[in-house]
A and B are shown apart, each in its own frame.
Chain A
Amino acid sequence: MNKKLIGLSVALLVLTVLIGISVGSTKIPVQDVFSILSHKLLGTALSEGIEGKTVSIVWILRFPRVLLALIVGASLAVSGSSIQSVLKNPLASPYTLGVSAGASLGVVICIIFDLYIPYFGYMTLTTVGFLSGLVTVFLVLRFARKVDHGFTNQTIILSGMVLALFVNAVLTMITALSHQDLQRIVLWQMGTFSLKSWKYVYAILPFFVIGTLGTLRYAKELDALSFGEEQALTLGVDVEKVKKRLIIYSAVLTGSAVATSGTIGFVGLVAPHICRRVFGPKHSLLIPMSVIFGGVFMIVMDLIARTVIPPSELPVGAITALIGAPFFSMIFFSRRKK
């Protein structure tokens, strides 16, 4: 039964990608999309009657955009699944530890001062996002340990929230003072995949791969951690080390995602919940499924964002929250009633 579901999920992902590319101001038939992709990726012959312009739309505009939505959604979902189990809290999300606030601040500073790390080129922003996210998490953990020697998850979550609020306030001040870049920053913060080309895909891909594989490597430990840290310790898990690494991988995933497309909420909360309900809480399956459903969710949200009021584009971050909030309440509370 599980194998069938996994097969269906993969099929759903492929279908969503194809539809995501097909729908837009110029509608491109799905079979043409398929033909163009297989021409570009596998070198097969292009179907007759497909214009060069259509190939350009698919390959230069839509495919990288859909791919980017997929990767960002997957990154946030994987990070969410992991952080929820590490903190043993089903309401935690990749943003709980302040990663997104820190990443945002780092990225905004880069935008304002036009900073580029030499040799990193287009990977500057994702790298800065990851590093500043990591610094914030580090501060959150240091602070939590200082105020609470027991280092409980509640303290960690509260410290994360407090620091995130603080960093966000700094961010707002910097934004308000930088008249020139105000529009760019606000647009980026609202979260959008608009006008994102291949170089953004290349910039986030390594972070996504490292973060996801790194998290998946600790699937068994995450299972044990779901029962609490003491339990995990008595089962033989080196909790301190594992927790630290999982939080770093989560910062890798979230920081780079935020740097790419701004702070997009709810994906990291909703996708893990859906996956747990359908596939169970075992992380060896939950993590790969989070990749798929985080991706599907984000592609669909982006599709809605760019087609609902054409020709203007809504910020995808608003759409995820608009749809995510009621959707999440539905799953979360229906489960409680049972």
Chain B
Amino acid sequence: MLKLNSVSVGYTSKMVVKDISFEVEQGQMICLIGPNGSGKTTLLKAIANIKEFEGDIKYNEVHINSMYRKEIGKIMAMITQNSHTYFPFSVFDTVMNGRYVYMDGLFKGPSKQDKVIVEQALERVGMLEFRKRNISTLSGGQLQRVHLAKLLAQEPEIILLDEPTNHLDLKYQIETLEFIKELTIKEHKISIVVLHDLNLVQRYADKVVMLSEGDDFLIGDTKDVLTNEKLNEFYHLDIKDWMVKTLEMWRK
């Protein structure tokens, strides 16, 4: 179980998320939502321990910021928003980076087992036939699948995704979230996903953390958070009304 206890995170001048506490269990998918600048990504980075925070973040009762980076890497994997490179890595080598924490020993490369795991990961996301391709030649959707394969290769217990549906067409958006959802349930992972599209949140999230532009936040089951009144308050827009009108247009 992942537990946040009165966590605050932000920048030296200003905390963007203040005193937040929640828990996520294995097999649960939690979505972080809120307007731009509300601190979704910042909170996600704090959980990944790549940004400093105040308060406690514990996984199975162990403080994550007391662990070595390699131990954290075995527990959590994250797809960040910008993980592009100028250097022409192949799909296979990119995914092999996910095995970093399991490769011990000086000057030692990947083992046979590492290679098998990478191939399995590529197979699962349907990218095995692209294994030798240069990643700079891939489409946005294909690249996202490569990142997913890398995440699988890392064999994490907690999956952190920062807007994984960005720049993807609707089909890929749904595919990506279906994939994560299935992984979360079948393999008892914890997944924490920053999402903008509230339709996707409605469909896939078990729990929602909604952050406001100020210090306010709301945590609960999806149906309790995504109410008309609360959305209006956090987004300053009658979102539900807008969505329902759109739906009516579709029905015509």
Residues of chain A at the chain B interface (Cβ within 8 Å) = 85, 88-90, 149, 216-217, 219-221, 223-224, 226-228, 230-231, 233-239, 276, 280-282, 284
Residues of A within 8 A of B48 (CB): 233-234
Q: Is the CB of B50 within 8 A of A230?
A: yes
Residues of B within 8 A of A282 (CB): 89, 93
- Assuming the A-B contacts A223-B97, A233-B69, A237-B69, are A281 and B109 also in contact, with contact meaning beta carbons closer than 8 angstroms in the complex? no
Residues of A within 8 A of B101 (CB): 235-236
Q: For the complex formed, measure the closest distance between the CB of A113 and the CB atoms of chain B, giving whole angstroms.
A: 41
Q: For the complex formed, measure the closest distance between the CB of B117 and the CB atoms of chain A, giving whole angstroms.
A: 14
Residues of A within 8 A of B90 (CB): 280
B98-137 Cβ-contact flags toward A at 8 Å (1 or 0): 1011010011010000000000000000000000000000
Q: Is the CB of B83 within 8 A of A236?
A: no
The answer for the CA separation of A149 and B68 in the assembled complex, in Å, is 23
Q: Is the CB of B86 within 8 A of A216?
A: no
Closest A residue to B96 using CB positions = A223
Q: Is the CB of A238 within 8 A of B97?
A: no
The answer for the CA separation of A255 and B94 in the assembled complex, in Å, is 33
The answer for the CA separation of A90 and B136 in the assembled complex, in Å, is 15
Q: Is the CB of B70 within 8 A of A280?
A: no
Q: Is the CB of A284 within 8 A of B80?
A: no
- Assuming the A-B contacts A227-B97, A230-B50, A236-B100, are A284 and B83 also in contact, with contact meaning beta carbons closer than 8 angstroms in the complex? no
Q: For the complex formed, measure the closest distance between the CB of A107 and the CB atoms of chain B, giving whole angstroms.
A: 32
Q: Is the CB of A276 within 8 A of B87?
A: yes
Query: B60 in the interface, Cβ–Cβ < 8 Å?
Result: no
- Assuming the A-B contacts A216-B107, A230-B50, A230-B80, are A236 and B87 also in contact, with contact meaning beta carbons closer than 8 angstroms in the complex? no
Q: For the complex formed, measure the closest distance between the CB of A215 and the CB atoms of chain B, giving whole angstroms.
A: 11
Q: Is the CB of B89 within 8 A of A228?
A: no
Partner of A231, one of B12, B80, B87: B80
Closest B residue to A84 using CB positions = B87
Q: A234-B48, A234-B77, A235-B97 known; 18 other A-B pairs, CB under 8 Å?
A: A88-B86, A217-B107, A224-B97, A226-B85, A226-B87, A227-B85, A227-B97, A228-B80, A231-B80, A233-B50, A233-B69, A234-B80, A235-B101, A235-B154, A236-B154, A237-B100, A280-B89, A281-B88
Closest B residue to A90 using CB positions = B86
The answer for the CA separation of A200 and B80 in the assembled complex, in Å, is 48
Closest A residue to B154 using CB positions = A235
Interface size on B, residues (CB 8 A): 37
Residues of A within 8 A of B74 (CB): 236
Q: Is the CB of B80 within 8 A of A88?
A: no
Query: B82 in the interface, Cβ–Cβ < 8 Å?
Result: yes
Residues of B within 8 A of A224 (CB): 97, 100
Q: For the complex formed, measure the closest distance between the CB of B9 and the CB atoms of chain A, giving whole angstroms.
A: 15
The answer for the CA separation of A282 and B88 in the assembled complex, in Å, is 9
Residues of B within 8 A of A284 (CB): 109
The answer for the CA separation of A280 and B85 in the assembled complex, in Å, is 13
The answer for the CA separation of A239 and B48 in the assembled complex, in Å, is 14
Q: Is the CB of A90 within 8 A of B69?
A: no
Closest A residue to B75 using CB positions = A236
Name the 7 nearest CB pairs between A and B, nearest first: A236-B73, A281-B87, A236-B101, A234-B78, A238-B69, A233-B50, A231-B83
Q: For the complex formed, measure the closest distance between the CB of A285 and the CB atoms of chain B, giving whole angstroms.
A: 10
Query: B64 in the interface, Cβ–Cβ < 8 Å?
Result: no
Q: For the complex formed, measure the closest distance between the CB of B109 and the CB atoms of chain A, giving whole angstroms.
A: 6
Residues of A within 8 A of B96 (CB): 223
Residues of A within 8 A of B160 (CB): 234
Query: B225 in the interface, Cβ–Cβ < 8 Å?
Result: no
Query: B16 in the interface, Cβ–Cβ < 8 Å?
Result: no
Closest B residue to A91 using CB positions = B86
Query: B46 in the interface, Cβ–Cβ < 8 Å?
Result: no
Partner of A228, one of B45, B76, B83, B88: B83
Q: Is the CB of B73 within 8 A of A235?
A: yes
The answer for the CA separation of A224 and B154 in the assembled complex, in Å, is 13
Query: B226 in the interface, Cβ–Cβ < 8 Å?
Result: no
Query: B72 in the interface, Cβ–Cβ < 8 Å?
Result: yes
Q: For the complex formed, measure the closest distance between the CB of A85 and the CB atoms of chain B, giving whole angstroms.
A: 7
Q: Is the CB of B93 within 8 A of A235?
A: no
The answer for the CA separation of A217 and B105 in the assembled complex, in Å, is 9
Q: For the complex formed, measure the closest distance between the CB of B215 and the CB atoms of chain A, giving whole angstroms.
A: 22
Q: Is the CB of A88 within 8 A of B85?
A: yes
Q: Is the CB of B89 within 8 A of A236?
A: no
Q: Which of A89, A226, A235 has the most C-beta atoms of chain B within 10 angstroms of its own C-beta?
A: A235
The answer for the CA separation of A85 and B88 in the assembled complex, in Å, is 12
Residues of B within 8 A of A90 (CB): 86-87
The answer for the CA separation of A214 and B174 in the assembled complex, in Å, is 45
Residues of A within 8 A of B82 (CB): 228
Q: For the complex formed, measure the closest distance between the CB of A80 and the CB atoms of chain B, giving whole angstroms.
A: 13
Within 8 A of A (CB), among B141-173: 154, 160
Residues of A within 8 A of B50 (CB): 230, 233-234
